[in-house]
Chains A and B, each alone.
Chain A
Amino acid sequence: MKKTKMTNREKRNNKNGFLFVLPWIIGFLLFSLYPIIMSAYYSFTNFSAIKDPEWVGLDNYAYLLKDNLFWTSLKNTLVYVALSVPITIIVSLILAVLLKIVKVGKSFFRSVFYMPAIFPVVASTIVWLLIFDPISGYLNRALRMIGLTGENWLGNPPYTKPALVLMTCWGVGTTVVIILAAMGDVSNELYEAAEIDGANTFKQFWYITMPGIAHVLVYQVVLAIIDGFQYFTQVYILCSAQSGNLSSGSAGTQNSLLMYPLYLFQNAFTRLKMGVASSMAWILFIIVFVLTLILLKVSDRFVDVK
């Protein structure tokens, strides 16, 4: 009797549990799985918003390999990721450590560092446009104050990526809060023991804090890489501000602002090559997937899994 009662309850749980998540499953099929499958299919077709897909095999991929702008956009994005991931993580770490040490006005400072992260991208990009202005912009004003000449940050190709990374550093608040929370989870006893052993602040940071937050840092690096490869809205807005409209296809001097997702977007919606755009999406997907996998595998060796 008791046994059947248990199975009845299990049955009921199985039914209810599934029933309650059903909305998400339907949403997943409609808005994730179906689009992913269709995207893979589209990548082998020639189609646009006004034309039905027509099978072309590997033509899109072959076309991209010979397309200079594809390589330019891939290079731009790789440079941006290579610069922005380490720099934003280091900046976040510095801010989090300072927030951990400083006791006076702690919550005020935390709000100040976090707030830019929630500002609408359009709004903050427009403000940065003013800061980067070659003549009256405050970045160059500050540089001139210390005797440097300043740069045309968004117009001179070698300086565009550092400028974008600077903008990204302004919005690292989410990572700062997460690292700060992770630091709070590191056991105080470890610090007390280290204190007794006479370890200084830097030693404590290196031997206690860093290993304690390593698993969170790895996750943040993965997220930063994914975000970096999807960096779109800021350059879309900056390029429109420079050229008025994007259908001309220009994206900054020598296409130095042409990030991979921006070129993908142009292919899909202004060049009417949605098949090519889908191929681009899959190349990006595979790059990000492989990078993430390698990173997680490598970090497994060094990081204690919690």
Chain B
Amino acid sequence: MGDKKVTGRAGRIIPFILITILALIYLFPIILMFSTSVRTNDEVFNTSLGLWPQEWHFENYTNVFNVMPYWQYFGNTMFVTLMNVLGTVVCTPLIAYSLSKIQWRGRNVLFAIIMSTLMIPYTVTMVPMYKMWTKVGLTGTFWPLIIPAFFGYPFYIVILRQFMLTIPDELMEAAEIDGANSLKVFISVILPLSKPGIATIVIFSFMSTFSDFLGPLLYANSSAHYTLSLGLYSYMNEHTVDWVGMMAATALFMIPIMIVFIFCQKYLMDGISTSGLKG
């Protein structure tokens, strides 16, 4: 188990074979999605055929753009997502800074409250929130999906606070001796050093908003406001038998996430690791 050798050749080969098999199983749904997306519907239901397509029908992808306003859904999704990222970036660092680097009365109580809000089931707040947004006339717009981000999500606050705790206090003290006030210390010392932590919460915020289903389901009640999640869902309801079209549309939804993942996985893994360990 340690970083030292695991005894014997079998001790090395058996785990490798096991992990390879498991990896293939985990990759299978993704391979199936891409394989199905370039076939014909007849082929999908022909059980004598394997995963490898007989012919490659890439027109399935261009077809998606004809039957579904993909770019409009993509635009809606990106608008909501980028606004969420903006809200998160604008307000989270200052909150995390106050909770990690400033000594003030009530700080620990407040942090305990933030931690406990992580446990509130969404089902409890869902109905009153819906009622609230209806009252102010914002259901059917993007705003219920955006505005809360500007007040800070507990999960991102916790991650960034954890990150800022690792910044040595001496760096701040040097600036304080030079007469900088807390806001100045924040801007000139903490913010530049927190870039990796901020990158992590940006990616988290991007991923979760981009994929969100329940939010748009509640508040985007016309197709003009559909995000990709909802667009794909309604496409599924209308074309249940068109597997190849559905898989092409699904792939077009997954590809942006895969690209972000490939470029940003280091930040994601680091963020998850720290968020889980303080438990």
Contact = CB atoms under 8 A, between A and B. Distances in A.
B36 interface: yes
A116 B26 contact: yes
A19 B28 CA distance: 50
A209 B1 contact: yes
A253 interface: no
Nearest to A246: B237
Interface string B213-249: 1100110000000001100110011001001001100
A38 B125 CA distance: 9
Interface stretch (A59-67, A94-102, A156-164): A94-102
A21 B279 CA distance: 22
Contacts, number: 291
Instruction: Give the interface size bracket for A toward B.
Output: 35 or more
B29 interface: yes
A236 B207 CA distance: 21
A191 B6 CA distance: 12
Given A21-B98, A240-B237, A123 B253 contact: yes
A120 interface: yes
Contacts of B166: none
Given A31-B148, A122-B213, A131-B32, A201 B11 contact: yes
B117 A98 contact: no
Contacts of B89: none
Prevailing SS type, chain A contact patch: helix
A204 interface: yes
Nearest to A261: B123
B265 interface: yes
A74 interface: no
Interface stretch (B52-60, B63-71, B104-112, B191-199): B104-112
A182 B207 CA distance: 24
10 contacts: A14-B105, A26-B151, A113-B23, A116-B26, A123-B211, A126-B232, A131-B29, A180-B273, A201-B11, A219-B279
Interface of B: 1-4, 6-7, 11, 15-16, 18-19, 22-23, 26-30, 32-33, 36, 44-47, 91, 94-95, 97-99, 102-107, 110, 113-114, 117, 119-132, 134, 148, 150-152, 157, 181-183, 207, 210-211, 213-214, 217-218, 228-229, 232-233, 236-237, 240, 243, 246-247, 250, 253-254, 257-258, 261, 265, 268-269, 272-277, 279
A-B complex: 9 closest residue pairs judged by Cβ atoms: A27-B151, A191-B2, A17-B104, A219-B279, A178-B276, A181-B273, A120-B211, A20-B98, A35-B128
Given A13-B102, A226-B121, 5 more contacts: A21-B99, A31-B125, A124-B29, A130-B36, A204-B2
